[in-house]
Chains A and B, each alone.
Chain A
Amino acid sequence: MTHEIAVVPGDGTGPEVVAEALKVLDAASDLYGFELSLTRFDLGGERYLRTGATLPGEVLDELRESDAILFGAVGHPEVEPGILERDILLRLRRELDQYINLRPVKLHPGVRSPISGVTPEDVDFVVVRENSEGLYVGKGSFTAKNGPFEVAVQESVNTRFGVERCIRYAFDLALTRPRRHVTLCGKTNVLKYSWDLWARVFDQVAADYPNVDTGYAHVDAACLWMVEDPSRFDVIVTDNMFGDIITDLAAAIQGGLGIASGANVNPAGVSMFEPIGGTAPGFEGTGKINPLAAIGAGAMMLRELGEVEAAAAVESAVASVAGELPSLRAGEMGATTSEVGDRVTRLVRESVEVSA
């Protein structure tokens, strides 16, 4: 089986961590009997500065034809912040209708959480963030701009279609997880329109999944619980903005951005897998950046491609290496970027030797 993978290393430390992910994926494909056919795209700051183009139409067409996209990060010191993120990352999400942002959150054994007393058993949940609507649709207005009575309105757009497909994805995901629990995270007590719709659709979808447990948390309470008792959560489904916020909190409790992988998913189309940490410009070219998040994103990609056994082997190798490192922070790992990639690769190889 050959999978067509589009690789977008991007800017900053993106290329370094993507290289390590590819190293591991290459080993996994050898061992588990499938092919990854890689096509690289130089989207990012350099290309923009050189050509003025962010995401040319022909590149987009090629990405559409791929089976999955492995993404590093975009953002360049010489490009005004926001341009690349908006014109590449956000545009790709929209063009490819990646309506789910998926963030698995796991505290691996041996990794120190900044929250004392929290154990790996406590932290194993997934945030399903609606990725196409809400406050992020860019609708709004100024009235009397720059005047003393200026009013800025930012609108949150929530469609039944968009909300339902997101919630349905969360329930389907819960069916594959051992606790079979979905928490709706919102703000029904104050945001009476958008969250009224979310709550009604949530109940209607839940009716189709009677063997999945459900719960509700206001987003403020969810933040509190994520710190005080993260074991409450299995699958959390939420809107675009709350998801943006709580996934960073979640990354912190699992040990930081060095281990935080995510995916922008179109279940029926092309999905994109990325470390969520960004370009980390201070560490570019130093060999100090942690590649585990990118490698973890690679494992998520394998799972989405149906290479379940290979995905499990990579996940388990990432978990082991994460637990062995003195810290997951860039520059404090006690190993170089490439050495960390090598250690994961070795464990993936050993996983086959052990089970053979």
Chain B
Amino acid sequence: MTARTLFEKIWDDHFVTGSDPALLYVDLHLVHEVTSPQAFAGLEQAGRKVRRPDLTLATVDHAIPTTSRSLGIRDPQSKKQVDTLKQNTEKHGITFFGLDDPRQGIVHVVGPENGYTQPGKVIVCGDSHTSTHGAFGALAFGIGTSEVEHVLATQTLWQKRPRTMSVDFDGSLPQGVAAKDLILGMISQLGVGGGVGHVIEYRGEAIRGLSMEERMTICNMSIEAGARAGMIAPDETTFEYLQGRPQAPKGEAWEAAVEYWSRLPTDQDATFDTAHTIDAAGLAPHVSWGINPGQTAPITSTVPDPEQFTDPVEKDSVARALRYMDLRPGTPFVDIAVDHVFLGSCTNGRIEDLRMAAEVVAGKRVADGVNAVVVPGSMQVKAQAEAEGLADIFQSAGFSWREAGCSSCLAMNDDVIPAGERCASTSNRNFEGRQGRGARTHLLSPAMAAAAAVAGHLVDVREWS
């Protein structure tokens, strides 16, 4: 048998028919309120049923409010989306983590924490950051609304076969450098088109040392490098995380699953179409300064000068980014004042993220004039953070403590950053207008965001006391 990569093994195990595109079987279909209504409507019109409601899981996250839920949803469009999803899931017998369910949360947080996300699965969802689930050694990618309908109807999906890419993170992660910095550092080195057409497998010493939640942060942002998906081979860390979760196999089934999962990692002699190496030990905390995640640099450096760039297109794009961001070349990043801090999202809204941030915040106060908000990734994360006392730490420091959802990451609800204001954000995209029209986003890690909230400006968290 020829040597195969993790990706190739999962692909082969899910291949149904065809060549390019191939028809793949889908093990888990995650559904949320924004990209599903038209898909369900199409299904109804064609008189079809959901093929495998048992392999489908729905929750609400994108456009829901994160303030108190006792009064329901005020925004009529959001209310309609949520009500429609509730009706659709009831009608088709799909498990639904609705607004009043203690398991509700961001789709990419609830899948893993309830044990739905498992190694070797093909996982799809009508959301680009589905790549998150690749952290478990699953093949997970975002799909469009017409494909959501196709998966609902058939539990399969036509896919063009992507190329494979390995990114090796050499050395171990330095103190004060987070998973977010690994992935931001990688995107700034490879560029926002660096992964186009590929599925990235993250490898190397630094990756093996990461927790599951850190791995999810890495895989989550694979698509910001243009990659189709990102994945990490399952290992003891993966199994330990999964064991005992509600949907994880039990007893003999668990033993059998672990035996299968253990055969998934890339074979010794397997090769990748493209290979990159990143010096993890040499990375510093990163912060984005521009309007795409590739426009990112170490916190120790300064705002770049468009004149440094020789390529006229790049010069133009840097100049435009600085105009939008209202930044002057040469300004040290640590001198940039922030108006808002957003802790949350499918990238960094998990319990470990909140712990890291709380450690920085403990006993301190949010700086005057800074609006700091924590939006836990799920209601379970929220409950756990409250049980661990993290919520108290945040609230007594002056953070607003919210209900779970996507929130300011994409500002589809009321959590909009006002035009011209600056937000240190643990989310994944800093496109113009992403967090609100005219809003200025700096992407960074939870600890860096928390430190910025206290200091009132960006800081190097390694020098934090």
Q: Give A residues with C-beta under 8 Å from B.
A: 121-122, 175-176, 178-181, 188-189, 196, 199-200, 202-204, 206-211, 213-214, 216, 231, 308-309, 312
List the A side residues contacting B131 at CB < 8 Å: 210
List the A side residues contacting B429 at CB < 8 Å: 213
The residue on B at minimum CB distance from A121 is B438
**Shortest beta-carbon distance from A38 to chain B in Å:** 24
Bound: A203/B143 CA distance, A: 7
User: Counting CB contacts under 8 A, is B114 at the interface?
Assistant: no
Q: Which 7 interchain pairs have the tightest Cβ spacing? A: A203-B144, A210-B223, A178-B432, A199-B146, A178-B291, A308-B312, A200-B146
7 contacts between A and B (CB under 8 A): A178-B292, A178-B320, A202-B146, A204-B147, A207-B144, A213-B429, A308-B313
A202/B144 in contact, CB under 8 A: yes
User: Counting CB contacts under 8 A, is B141 at the interface?
Assistant: yes
Residue in B38, B228, B316, B433 whose CB lies within 8 Å of A308: B316
C-beta contact mask, B131-172 vs A, less than 8 Å → 1, else 0? 100000000011111110000000000111000000000000
The residue on B at minimum CB distance from A203 is B144
C-beta contact mask, B414-434 vs A, less than 8 Å → 1, else 0? 000001000000000101111
A309/B437 in contact, CB under 8 A: no
**Shortest beta-carbon distance from A117 to chain B in Å:** 13
A-contacting 9-mer, from B64-72, B189-197, B333-341, B445-453: B189-197
Residue in A121, A181, A188 whose CB lies within 8 Å of B437: A121
User: Counting CB contacts under 8 A, is B226 at the interface?
Assistant: yes
The residue on B at minimum CB distance from A205 is B144
**Shortest beta-carbon distance from A272 to chain B in Å:** 23
List the B side residues contacting A199 at CB < 8 Å: 144-146
Bound: A179/B438 CA distance, A: 11
List the A side residues contacting B324 at CB < 8 Å: 178
List the A side residues contacting B159 at CB < 8 Å: 207
List the B side residues contacting A309 at CB < 8 Å: 312, 316
Bound: A309/B128 CA distance, A: 34
Bound: A25/B404 CA distance, A: 55
Bound: A202/B128 CA distance, A: 14
Bound: A211/B431 CA distance, A: 10
C-beta contact mask, B203-247 vs A, less than 8 Å → 1, else 0? 000000000000000000001111110000000000000000000
The residue on B at minimum CB distance from A198 is B146
**Shortest beta-carbon distance from B62 to chain A in Å:** 12
User: Counting CB contacts under 8 A, is B6 at the interface?
Assistant: no
Tally of chain B residues near chain A (CB < 8 A):
42
List the B side residues contacting A175 at CB < 8 Å: 192-193
Residue in A181, A207, A216, A231 whose CB lies within 8 Å of B145: A216
B433/A210 in contact, CB under 8 A: no
Bound: A18/B223 CA distance, A: 44
B146/A211 in contact, CB under 8 A: no
A207/B143 in contact, CB under 8 A: yes
A203/B438 in contact, CB under 8 A: no
Residue in B38, B196, B197 whose CB lies within 8 Å of A188: B38
B432/A209 in contact, CB under 8 A: no
B321/A178 in contact, CB under 8 A: yes
List the B side residues contacting A216 at CB < 8 Å: 38, 145
Bound: A141/B160 CA distance, A: 39
A211/B145 in contact, CB under 8 A: no
Bound: A211/B191 CA distance, A: 12
Bound: A203/B432 CA distance, A: 23
Bound: A211/B159 CA distance, A: 18
Bound: A234/B433 CA distance, A: 10
A203/B146 in contact, CB under 8 A: yes
**Shortest beta-carbon distance from B141 to chain A in Å:** 7
Residue in A204, A210, A213 whose CB lies within 8 Å of B431: A213
Bound: A180/B295 CA distance, A: 14
Given A208-B196, A209-B226, A211-B225: A231 in contact with B433 (beta carbons within 8 A): yes
Starting from the known contacts A121-B419, A203-B143, 18 additional A-B residue pairs (CB-CB under 8 Å) come to A176-B313, A178-B292, A178-B432, A179-B433, A179-B434, A180-B292, A181-B431, A199-B144, A202-B144, A204-B144, A207-B141, A207-B159, A207-B228, A210-B141, A211-B293, A213-B128, A231-B437, A309-B316
Bound: A122/B419 CA distance, A: 11
The residue on A at minimum CB distance from B224 is A211
List the B side residues contacting A121 at CB < 8 Å: 419, 437-438
Bound: A214/B142 CA distance, A: 12
B433/A203 in contact, CB under 8 A: no
Greatest chain B CB density within 10 A among A121, A122, A175, A210 is at: A210
B192/A211 in contact, CB under 8 A: yes
Residue in A181, A196, A210 whose CB lies within 8 Å of B142: A210
List the B side residues contacting A180 at CB < 8 Å: 292, 431
Bound: A200/B158 CA distance, A: 11
B38/A214 in contact, CB under 8 A: no
List the B side residues contacting A203 at CB < 8 Å: 143-147
**Shortest beta-carbon distance from B310 to chain A in Å:** 12
**Shortest beta-carbon distance from B195 to chain A in Å:** 9
**Shortest beta-carbon distance from A158 to chain B in Å:** 15
Bound: A181/B291 CA distance, A: 13
Bound: A354/B320 CA distance, A: 18
Interface residues of B in 281-313 (CB under 8 A from A): 291-293, 312-313
Bound: A303/B434 CA distance, A: 27
List the A side residues contacting B226 at CB < 8 Å: 209-211
Interface residues of B in 323-381 (CB under 8 A from A): 324
List the B side residues contacting A196 at CB < 8 Å: 146
Residue in B146, B227, B291 whose CB lies within 8 Å of A210: B227
List the A side residues contacting B316 at CB < 8 Å: 308-309, 312
Bound: A248/B239 CA distance, A: 58
Bound: A207/B316 CA distance, A: 28
List the A side residues contacting B196 at CB < 8 Å: 208
List the A side residues contacting B41 at CB < 8 Å: 189
List the A side residues contacting B144 at CB < 8 Å: 199, 202-204, 206-207, 214
List the B side residues contacting A122 at CB < 8 Å: 437
Bound: A272/B429 CA distance, A: 35
**Shortest beta-carbon distance from A304 to chain B in Å:** 13
C-beta contact mask, B82-112 vs A, less than 8 Å → 1, else 0? 0000000000000000000000000000000
Bound: A169/B320 CA distance, A: 22
List the A side residues contacting B317 at CB < 8 Å: 176
The residue on A at minimum CB distance from B225 is A211
